[in-house]
Amino acid sequence: MKEVKIGFIGCGGNANGHMNRLAEIEGARVVAVCDVQAERAQSAAEKHNTDAYTAHQELLERDDLDAVYLSLPVFAHGEPELDVIARDLPFFVEKPVAINMDIALMIEEELMTTGLITCVGYQLRYLGSTQITRQILKDRTINMAVGKYWCSTGHGDPNAWLRQMNKSGGQLVEQATHTIDMMRYMCGEVETVYAMQANRFLKETDCPDANSVTLQFASGAVGSLTATWAYAGDWSNANVLDLLYEDEILNWNPSRVSVQEDGEWVDKTEPGPTIDEVFVNAVRSGDASPILSPYSDAVKTLEISLAANLSAQEKRLVEISSL
């Protein structure tokens, strides 16, 4: 089996999770890691027995890379991707793909002529619960989607990039992007967005701690999403979705989809591949078709979160095509 040699740009919490999963995949090997914080690069390099760099340009000078992972704070996207593309390397990049549409569209345009394999970290698309839901909804009319992302992530260091609006885009861009992506994946494209936001409790940050978003899908279906990261309780309402299709409802969360059969709620799930397995196999085979979240698709999910932030700021309906 041809070995896939991988370099990492960014060695934070999320990157370490990917490195650990890649270590379990036969034929995948992390050969170089890079972080602007030298101790993070060093620590990942020691754990995975690789070389460490503090500048992505130096990592990209290596001639043994088959692919690159980028796991960066939201504000740091742009130059690293362009340099990876210039090196003609397939890449995995974490969601959300950028802090604004200008950067995302510039990278998308640069990619267009290359045919490079890309994969964005919307791993929920590959889950059994998601694929079963897609099967149930196939050829059915969806009337309404209601999503929630209620969690405690907003608590913590207010100076961390995550809790600064100009560095992360806030909860809708950085975190509830997963629920927005699920709504798109299950219900189709969104045409119009209206949102209201408030910051009622976590006043030490400039990010909203309450988000209420209304969506109009191109199909004619409607949707709503509420998101808060001020809630200090459990995560049972984080990243969940209720769907009304014709006269039936289902409830999706990452671990299962619940449907009613003969008046009883029945939970369904099945194993799915990890997103890392899918990406590594695609790079090895050159066949991108199993990738469910390529760069150009993920740009559309980003657009919806940014439209929601803009709508709340300007107190108006935002047409997705206008962004």
Instruction: Return residues touching ligand NAD (CB under 6 A).
Output: 9-15, 34-37, 40, 56, 71-74, 76, 80, 94-95, 121, 123, 174
Q: How far is the CB of 133 from ligand NAD (least distance, A)?
A: 18
Q: For the chain, what is the radius of gyration of the CA atoms?
A: 20
Q: How far is the CB of 35 from ligand NAD (least distance, A)?
A: 4
Q: How far is residue 88's CA from residue 187's CA, in Å, rounded to a whole number?
A: 34
Q: How far is residue 245's CA from residue 249's CA, in Å, rounded to a whole number?
A: 6
Q: How far is the CB of 162 from ligand NAD (least distance, A)?
A: 7
Q: Which is nearer to ligand NAD, 95 or 148 (CB)?
A: 95
Strand partners, 245: 142, 248
Q: How far is residue 45's CA from residue 89's CA, in Å, rounded to a whole number?
A: 21
Helix (H) or strand (E) holding 245: strand 238-245
Q: What separation in angstroms does the CA of 266 have from each of 75, 244, 250, 254, 260?
A: 42, 16, 10, 15, 6
Residue nearest to ligand NAD (CB): 12
Which of 211-220 are b and which e, b meaning 16 or more Cβ less than 10 Å from the residue's Cβ? bbbbbbbeee
Q: Which is nearer to ligand NAD, 33 or 202 (CB)?
A: 33
Q: How far is the CB of 245 from ligand NAD (least distance, A)?
A: 27
Q: How far is the CB of 123 from ligand NAD (least distance, A)?
A: 6
Q: Where does 1-96 show beta strands of DSSP type E?
A: 4-9, 28-34, 51-53, 67-70, 91-93
Q: Which is nearer to ligand NAD, 40 or 87 (CB)?
A: 40
Q: Which is nearer to ligand NAD, 31 or 74 (CB)?
A: 74
Q: How far is the CB of 221 from ligand NAD (least distance, A)?
A: 26
Q: How far is residue 220's CA from residue 241's CA, in Å, rounded to a whole number?
A: 18
Q: Which is nearer to ligand NAD, 15 or 127 (CB)?
A: 15
Q: How far is the CB of 142 from ligand NAD (least distance, A)?
A: 25
Q: Which is nearer to ligand NAD, 12 or 188 (CB)?
A: 12
For residue 214, the number of C-alpha atoms closer than 13 Å in the C-beta half-sphere is 11
Q: How far is the CB of 69 from ligand NAD (least distance, A)?
A: 10
Q: Which is nearer to ligand NAD, 14 or 281 (CB)?
A: 14
Mapping DSSP onto H, E and C, the string for 190-240 reads EEEEEEEEECCCCCCCCCCCEEEEEEEECCCCEEEEEEECCCCCCCCCEEE
Instruction: Return the structure tokens found at 233.
Output: 């309780």
Q: Which is nearer to ligand NAD, 192 or 293 (CB)?
A: 293
Strand partners, 29: 5
Q: Contact at 8 Å (CB) between 98 and 77?
A: yes
